[in-house]
Structure 1
């Protein structure tokens, strides 16, 4: 009998694996439709779409393994990380999607609201919040929109040896800041930032990437807690915030 594995499940959406098929269930049918459109438009490897019957999208499993996991050292080679950087560059040079991503104003408002919650609830030390809010400021500048994946976690990039076989989970794709994708890919894996940049090429601002590391971690904590995840797990978001304190100003 083929087993059913819950890959990710929370109140907004869930992904199940049944043999070599992934079933993604999304309560927001418009978002799922945009994901299908983004996958079709992206000039990079994606999972084969088997069928789409809202609110479910069926995808074939990708060959290889994920580049890594947040909270665990990556076993992928340096060359695989370089290849991932090249794939991200190809995406960012594609035609920008017609639907907008988060605006700078919305991003600032979300960050300020989440920092206020963290301080009020005393979830993490005040110094951790205030220092990372300062670091995050580097990301809060106007950017030229490009085609971004929008949630380019290391677990969403699959590789086989030195080849990227596919990129998963395009639900947040749209027009956005290129540095945000690079920051998301390297979040918790700063030792591979140079490899990704080597594959990506010019135009990288390391201070902005570090700013996005802080911003993404600060804004993720409440959501993770409320959805049953642990941002304090070793190597995860709170450890990323702590590491930012050790980085020279």
Structure 2
């Protein structure tokens, strides 16, 4: 090994790569506890846990490449996206984990608080915030909880030879809305939703997925800004919000 790679680092969490080992350092020990329990229960490929000594969790690298990154076109084939959809369906069909998930009322309260912050700080035009808050309401309908990953970003799903080789970063796993996972995986990659659903199944409400795109982008913006990320980068959260205006 030639170097230590800093994969991500901010005030709450850091992930380092040393060869084929990832070291995840988290100030909240509960995150690693959820991650280890979720990976033990998930019926899909996950990284091997090498050891856990709080606040550090060591996991093995998984083979293959991520489906893509936010802000750039995905080079993965339609078949790879379909394989990801089939894996997510397998997860959602599994028994619900025995710890609580987020309540709809808490999600709505967070959404309203974050929209207020965006308006007060003039981060986005008021009409963009208003319209996306309106769209986001469709996500806040009753749902039957399933086993969700909870942070199923495109960078967290690895594929090789059109098969899923690993799904990483399970610290947000919980009972929740299946369409939330589908929305996070396709956030900023709307053109790949058909490919994903070819493997997952078409029995979903696409308007609710679009609603979660708006909700996620609105609620993530402040955290991203405060931790050194830019939601206004091309193809990222603010472009997702602006695209909803074009669709109106």
The answer, yes or no, to whether TM exceeds 0.5 is yes
Runs of 4+ in 1 over 3 A off after TM superposition: none
TM-score where L is the length of structure 2: 0.98
Equivalent position of 1:140 in the other structure:
140
- Partner SS, residue 8 of structure 2: strand
Q: Secondary structure at the match of 2:130?
A: helix
Q: What secondary structure sits across from 1:47 in the alignment?
A: coil
- Residues 136 and 212, structure 1, Cα contact 8 Å, conserved in 2: yes
Deviation at 1:203, TM superposition (A): 2.8
Structure 1 residue 161 displacement after superposition: 2.3
Aligned to 2:69: 69
The 5 A counterparts of 1:214-229 are 214-229=214-229
1:206 aligns with 2:231: no
Contact 1:77 1:161 (C-alpha < 8 Å) held by counterparts: no
Instruction: Deviation per CA, 1:39-60: give whole Å up to 9, x if none.
Output: 0100000011111111111111
What is the CA deviation profile of residues 91-142 of structure 1, one whole-angstrom value per residue up to 9, with x for unaligned ones?
0000101111111000000000000110111001111100101110110111
Whether contact under 8 Å (1:20, 1:61) holds in the other structure is yes
Which residue of the partner structure matches residue 121 of structure 1?
Answer: 121
Q: Deviations over 1:163-213 (max 9, x none)?
A: 110001001001100000000000000000011111101431100000000
Length, aligned pairs only: 248
Contact 1:179/1:209 (<8 A) preserved: yes
Question: Do the aligned residues in 2 keep the contact of 1:132 with 1:244 (CA within 8 Å)?
Answer: yes
What is the rounded CA distance, in whole Å, between the counterparts of 1:34 and 1:242 in structure 2? 34
| Distance (Å, rounded) in 1 between the aligned partners of 2:235 and 2:93 | 31
SS in 2 for 1:98: coil
**Structure 2: gaps spanning 5 or more residues:** none
Matches within 5 A, 1:67-216: 67-216=67-216
Q: Provide the C-alpha distance between the structure 2 equivalents of 1:33 and 1:11, rounded to a whole number of angstroms.
A: 19
Cα RMSD (Å): 0.8
